[in-house]
């Protein structure tokens, strides 16, 4: 056994001499800063059972000589930059059970000879594979994991996939698959995750999936599925995420939903669902999000819906709901978003809505609501508040009018005090200005020396004439900064340094510019990190720059580091995180003080921080989106099966109602 994993070696190639270790059975070189191509000499390791070269910077093709590793059981090549097709001759690897070549740039078709092996786990996601998935993969008797998402695969899935194997995790999302969903996916009754979003699947959801009680996570959104959802599917007892968004599904929500005791996220927007929302939905006590917008739901909201105390989002806009809003909605103490726009709701807005203290998105527009707007709404902090196109009457709530009367006396005192401070400040400034003018006239310009490192269009005298207090625009630890308008019309900033530590072997003439000051250097390192980022694009602070700052705070929490650290060198925290992730992996970024049992949740929070600090402001999510993502981190319940260390799947729940960013 040779294990050199997770060592910060200097970048280098895999020594071809390793092929001489012919008795080697285990070779682990995970995250060793390796680069270059995989040497052909590794094919001489005939006794090798486990080869792990993951999380490096390896490039080039996978050498055909690896097909000579007739004893190998596991090959890990994920998270590199490998290119080309999978090598021929893989049928020789008769003992191979686990292959992971994900997160590379591999292309071509998935070989049939590979799929004919008795594989247990096949991970080829995030590559450029095309063509169809060979039918032979369905004959693997022990296949429990198949992850092929984010490729360019086409055609239909094998219709007997899962019939002969204990399939647990299937993820074929973001491909171009078509045809129907194989009805045998849960034949062995062990399937936990079915992720098939962003494809062209059509037909009905198989009735057999309505009996798959082992399911915990189902994402079938963004396809062309039609017909009614199987009755049993609504009530699967262990599913916590059910996403069917943007299909052509029809029919009602079945009353069997009462059995979905673990359901937290029900995302069924943009379909053709009809009928009334059943009273039984009030029994789904774990429900945190119910998004059913852009359907044909009708009738009143069930009274039982107010029992959903964990509800954070209720979005049913663009339906045909009618009747009055249910009483008791004040029990939605965790509700963040309430969108019932464009329905046919009538009656009054319940007074209890003013008690929803965390609500920040409220849209009742396009309904038939009448009566007065509840006074309690004035106490809420809403980012979105829309009651347009209704039949409301009476006066608007007084908002801050009543409160302001109690503070009139305080405001008057503040204005008087501010006036006094202003007058005193003007007098003080005038006196200081006169003294400075006198002192400034005494400067002998002949003592100044201008040292230029490139050709300039102005002289030191033009600068010196403008170094007076009228032109001061800032003061730092190392001196004052002056705004200087040159005769050419160009505007420059000039910093006049305080007397500091003078370099050795030089005279003590500060005016010659030889002052060395660590505070000035620190100041420069700090503009570069924040001022430049915040103002470079728009020259003003906006929501996106605030989100950037929030993202930096998230990265501080996850990494346990300050925004500026000597270890970063020329980088700031954001660049350090990105570089370290690429070169060393997530384990070198996360604060080691954080409990490892929460690693997956911490990784998701890290991803959110990286989204917020995207270099282009347009790619950053809205704060509403950030809040949702952070809420989701605590909602998903994970299978007990151990995951491979250092690997992140991007397919945790992605909010389909906000297209501002991609998770």
Q: Give me the domain span that covers residue 478.
A: 467-487+539-634
Q: Which residue did the predictor score with more confidence, 639 or 117?
A: 117
Q: Is the pLDDT of residue 397 over 60?
A: yes
Which segment of 96-105, 122-131, 205-214, 499-508 scores lowest on mean pLDDT?
Answer: 499-508
Say what the pLDDT of residue 515 is: 40
Give, as one character, the DSSP assignment of residue 66. G
Structural domain includes residue 500: no
Residue that is written with structure tokens 């396809």 in the block: 223
Are both 334 and 474 inside the same structural domain? Answer: no
Are both 385 and 300 inside the same structural domain? Answer: yes
Give the mean model confidence (pLDDT) for residues 16-41: 96
Structural domain includes residue 80: no
Are both 318 and 231 inside the same structural domain? Answer: yes
Are both 389 and 257 inside the same structural domain? Answer: yes
Tell me the pLDDT band of 524, cut-offs 50, 70 and 90: very low
Structural domain includes residue 431: no
Of 337, 369, 394, the domain-final residue: 394
Are both 366 and 476 inside the same structural domain? Answer: no
What distance in Å separates the CA atoms of residue 94 and residue 110, rounded to the nearest whole number?
A: 17
Are both 349 and 251 inside the same structural domain? Answer: yes
Are both 328 and 476 inside the same structural domain? Answer: no
Q: Is the pLDDT of residue 240 over 80?
A: yes
Say what the pLDDT of residue 399 is: 57
Of 374, 394, 414, the domain-final residue: 394
Are both 555 and 473 inside the same structural domain? Answer: yes
Structural domain includes residue 548: yes
pLDDT tens digit sequence for 149-195:
999 999 999 999 999 999 999 999 999 999 999 999 999 999 999 99
Domain of residue 324, CATH code: 3.80.10.10
Say what the pLDDT of residue 239 is: 96
Structural domain includes residue 168: no
Structural domain includes residue 256: yes
Say what the pLDDT of residue 454 is: 45
Sequence ranges of the binding site = 496
pLDDT tens digit sequence for 228-238:
999 999 999 99
pLDDT tens digit sequence for 38-88:
999 999 999 999 999 999 999 999 999 999 999 999 999 999 999 999 999
What distance in Å separates the CA atoms of residue 162 and residue 164, rounded to the nearest whole number?
A: 6
| DSSP bridge partners of 193 | 169, 217
What percent of the chain stands above pLDDT 90?
Answer: 56
Say what the pLDDT of residue 405 is: 47
What distance in Å separates the CA atoms of residue 316 and residue 341, rounded to the nearest whole number?
A: 7
Are both 381 and 471 inside the same structural domain? Answer: no
Q: Which helix (H) or strand (E) holds 152?
A: strand 152-156
Are both 246 and 372 inside the same structural domain? Answer: yes
Structural domain includes residue 60: no
Sequence ranges of the binding site for ATP = 496
Task: Name the pTM for this structure.
Answer: 0.64
Total number of domains constituting the chain: 2
Structural domain includes residue 258: yes
Beta strands in 13-84 (DSSP E): 26-28, 35-36, 50-52, 57-60, 74-76, 81-84
Q: Is the pLDDT of residue 516 over 90?
A: no
Domain of residue 588, CATH code: 1.10.510.10
């Amino acid at each position: 056994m040779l294990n050199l994993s997770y060592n910060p070696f200097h970048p280098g190639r895999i020594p071809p001499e390793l092929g001489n270790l012919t008795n080697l059975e285990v070779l682990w070189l995970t995250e060793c800063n390796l680069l270059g191509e995989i040497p052909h000499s590794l094919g001489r390791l005939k006794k090798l059972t486990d080869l792990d070269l993951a999380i490096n910077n390896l490039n080039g093709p996978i050498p055909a000589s690896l097909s000579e590793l007739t004893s190998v059981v596991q090959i890990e090549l994920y998270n590199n930059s490998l290119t080309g097709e999978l090598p021929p001759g893989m049928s020789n690897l008769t003992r191979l059970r686990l292959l992971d070549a994900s997160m590379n740039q591999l292309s071509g078709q998935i070989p049939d000879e590979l799929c004919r092996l008795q594989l247990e786990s096949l991970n080829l996601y995030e590559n450029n594979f095309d063509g169809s998935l060979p039918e032979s993969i369905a004959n693997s008797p022990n296949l429990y994991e198949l992850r092929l998402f984010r490729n360019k695969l086409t055609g239909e899935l094998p219709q007997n996939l899962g019939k002969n194997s204990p399939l647990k995790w299937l993820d074929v999302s973001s491909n171009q698959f078509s045809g129907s969903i194989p009805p045998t996916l849960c034949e062995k009754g062990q399937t936990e995750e079915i992720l098939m979003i962003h494809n062209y699947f059509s037909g009905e959801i198989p009735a057999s999936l309505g009996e798959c009680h082992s399911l915990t996570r189902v994402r079938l959104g963004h396809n062309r599925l039609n017909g009614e959802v199987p009755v049993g599917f609504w009530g699967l007892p262990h599913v916590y995420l059910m996403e069917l968004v943007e299909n052509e599904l029809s029919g009602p929500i079945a009353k069997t939903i009462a059995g979905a005791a673990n359901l937290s996220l029900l995302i069924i927007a943009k379909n053709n669902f009809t009928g009334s929302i059943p009273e039984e939905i009030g029994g789904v006590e774990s429900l945190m999000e119910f998004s059913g917008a852009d359907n044909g739901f009708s009738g009143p909201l069930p009274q039982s819906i107010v029992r959903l105390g964990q509800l954070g989002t209720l979005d049913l806009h663009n339906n045909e709901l009618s009747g009055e809003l249910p009483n008791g909605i004040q029990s939605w103490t965790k509700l963040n978003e309430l969108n019932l726009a464009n329905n046919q709701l009538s009656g009054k807005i319940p007074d209890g809505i003013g008690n929803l203290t965390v609500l920040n998105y409220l849209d009742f527009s396009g309904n038939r609501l009448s009566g007065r707007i509840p006074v309690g709404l004035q106490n809420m902090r809403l980012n979105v508040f829309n009651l347009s196109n209704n039949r409301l009457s009476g006066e608007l709530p007084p908002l801050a009018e009543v409160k302001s009367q109690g503070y009139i006396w305080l405001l008057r005192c503040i204005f008087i005090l501010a006036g006094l401070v202003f007058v005193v400040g003007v007098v003080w400034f005038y006196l200081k200005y006169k003294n400075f003018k006198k002192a400034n006239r005494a400067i002998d310009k002949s003592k100044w020396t201008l040292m230029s490192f490139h050709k300039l269009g102005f002289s030191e005298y033009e600068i010196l004439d403008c170094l007076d207090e009228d032109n001061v625009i800032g003061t730092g630890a190392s001196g004052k900064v002056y705004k200087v308008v040159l005769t050419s019309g160009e505007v420059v900033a000039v910093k006049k340094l305080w007397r500091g530590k003078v370099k050795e072997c030089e005279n003590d003439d500060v005016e010659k510019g030889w002052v060395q000051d660590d505070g000035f250097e620190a100041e420069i390192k700090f503009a570069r990190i924040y001022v430049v980022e915040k103002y470079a694009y728009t020259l003003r602070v906006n929501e996106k720059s605030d989100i950037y700052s929030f993202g930096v705070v998230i990265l501080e929490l996850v990494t346990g580091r300050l925004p500026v650290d000597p270890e970063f060198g020329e980088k700031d925290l954001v660049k350090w995180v990105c570089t370290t992730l690429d070169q060393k992996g997530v384990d070198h970024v996360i604060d080691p003080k954080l409990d490892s049992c929460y690693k997956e949740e911490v990784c998701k929070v890290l991803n959110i921080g990286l989204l917020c600090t995207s270099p282009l402001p347009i790619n950053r999510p809205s704060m509403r989106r950030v809040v949702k993502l952070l809420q989701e981190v605590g909602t998903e319940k994970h299978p007990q099966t151990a995951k491979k260390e250092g690997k992140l799947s991007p397919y945790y729940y992605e909010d389909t109602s906000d297209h501002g960013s991609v998770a």
